[in-house]
């Protein structure tokens, strides 16, 4: 049997599901395949930035269908000295930050893609792929041969599609690495805000605690490959972090682990890997699109998916589509990630991290706007890319600001007044 969609999407995570939704709305016949069966877990910090939330709203996600969804209106950043800086998000202007388990979020997006008309086959892996005149031919386990004019690789850091097409990067193991565990029974302070600790041995990385709507918290830390800590030391570091006083003051000491900790690589070199080749476009982790400063990847996955879909629907031959996609990614997201890389040296030393945290909480205006910049309320390099300027770019509302859109309003994490220390 040979299937012949207009576009084959390999991978049904946020990037693949988003690409499918955009393309079906544009009238394309889309087939999505993923080797995993949904719902499935994905190791992640589970935080959703403002940029990611706006994309999710545009995709038609109903937040009430995501069981662990929790909206949060404040971030608290802790300097290496232990000083705490509360960074509030705007109140009453929509949603600027949220947390949701990936097992819930990704399953909801897959169902959204199906509802839009995409044909989704989970539990079916691509076992081979080749470029032929007029498009790509893929062998899909359990489905047979698939022929499509375009293929979108949304299949992760070590994209099998990239490997099948001869575009893999030998020896690549990610630019950052992260470690996370779900905890239950933490103290009430952990439920109040997003917590971020800049511990000296993790710089320029950080540790986090993000509250979920189901009573658990996602706790973890991330490091850079060229940072202070070696990847092989992450297990020992994790046990140490959970005992540190600045962390136990938030988590308490009566918590229990929901399951074992898990680690994963973070690809953060968008624009340095091939983004497209012939009929193939790569998005999300397969494009190494994660933010090199925060490690955030969901917003970037949704952004690249939208750009890939736009490049295809604009029409033209495969070379024109590939060039269009590469051009838009390099002009926008790649510049944003370079801006984040420019900031990283400031966070490599204790003195730099202390200064950054101190400046972030220097005035109410700075606190509000630093939180918005950190959580990608607007593109990191917006000031350097005039084509993206528009009225309200720095002061616009968050997602779901219109009542009744995307489900009923949801409660945010309770917040108690916190004095900077």
Mean pLDDT of the chain: 90
Name every residue whose Cβ is closer than 8 Å to that of residue 128 and which is 6 or more positions away in sequence: 138, 139, 164
In this predicted model, what pLDDT tens digit does every residue of 240-257 receive, in sequence order? 999 999 999 999 999 999
In this predicted model, what pLDDT tens digit does every residue of 292-334 receive, in sequence order? 989 999 999 999 999 999 999 999 999 999 999 999 999 988 8
Residue 403 has a pLDDT of 54
Q: How confident is residue 411, by pLDDT bands cut at 50, 70 and 90?
A: very low
Cis upstream peptide for 323 (omega within 30°): no
Q: What residue ranges define each of the domains in the chain, with the CATH number in brackets?
A: 2-62+101-172+268-340 (3.50.50.60)
In this predicted model, what pLDDT tens digit does every residue of 89-136 receive, in sequence order? 988 889 999 999 999 999 999 999 999 999 999 999 999 999 998 899
Alpha carbon distances (Å) from 87 to 46, 217, 277, 332: 19, 19, 42, 27
Q: How confident is residue 414, by pLDDT bands cut at 50, 70 and 90?
A: very low
Residue 406 has a pLDDT of 43
Tokens 């109410």 found at: 364
Residue 271 main-chain phi, psi, to 5 deg: 90, -15
């Amino acid at each position: 049997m040979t299937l012949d969609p207009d576009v084959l999407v390999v991978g049904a995570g946020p990037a693949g599901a988003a690409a499918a939704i955009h393309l079906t709305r544009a009238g394309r016949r889309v087939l999505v395949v993923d080797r995993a069966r949904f719902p499935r877990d994905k190791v992640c910090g589970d935080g959703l930035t403002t940029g990611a939330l706006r994309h999710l709203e545009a995709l038609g996600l109903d937040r009430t269908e995501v069981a662990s969804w929790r909206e949060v209106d404040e971030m608290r950043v802790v300097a290496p000295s232990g000083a705490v800086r509360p960074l509030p998000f705007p109140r009453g202007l929509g949603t600027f930050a949220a947390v949701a388990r990936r097992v819930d979020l990704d399953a909801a997006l897959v169902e959204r893609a199906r509802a839009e008309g995409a044909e989704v086959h989970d539990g079916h892996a691509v076992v081979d792929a080749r470029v032929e005149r007029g498009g790509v031919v893929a062998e899909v386990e359990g489905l047979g041969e698939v022929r499509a004019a375009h293929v979108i690789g949304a299949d992760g850091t070590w994209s099998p599609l990239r490997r099948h097409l001869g575009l893999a990067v030998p020896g690549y193991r990610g630019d950052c690495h992260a470690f996370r565990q779900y905890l239950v029974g933490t103290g009430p302070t952990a439920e109040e805000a997003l917590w971020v600790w800049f511990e000296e041995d993790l710089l320029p990385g950080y540790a986090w605690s993000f509250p979920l709507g189901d009573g658990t918290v996602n706790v973890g830390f991330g490091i850079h490959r060229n940072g202070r800590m070696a990847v092989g030391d992450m297990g020992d570091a994790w046990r140490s972090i959970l005992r540190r006083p600045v962390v136990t003051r938030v988590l308490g000491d009566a918590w229990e682990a929901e399951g074992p900790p898990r680690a994963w690589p973070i690809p953060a070199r968008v624009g340095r890997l091939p983004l497209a080749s012939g009929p193939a476009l790569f998005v999300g982790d397969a494009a190494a699109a994660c933010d090199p400063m925060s490690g955030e990847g969901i917003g970037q996955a949704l952004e690249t998916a939208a750009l890939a879909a736009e490049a295809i629907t604009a029409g033209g031959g495969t070379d024109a589509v590939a060039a269009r996609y590469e051009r838009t990614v390099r002009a926008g997201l790649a510049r944003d990630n370079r801006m984040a890389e420019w900031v990283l040296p400031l966070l490599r030393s204790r003195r730099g991290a202390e200064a950054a945290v101190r400046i972030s909480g220097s005035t109410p205006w700075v606190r509000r706007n630093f939180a918005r910049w950190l959580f990608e309320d607007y593109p990191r390099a917006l000031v350097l890319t005039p084509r993206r300027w528009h009225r309200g770019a720095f002061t616009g509302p968050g997602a779901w600001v219109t009542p009744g859109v995307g489900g009923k309003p949801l409660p945010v994490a309770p917040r108690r007044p916190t004095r900077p220390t």
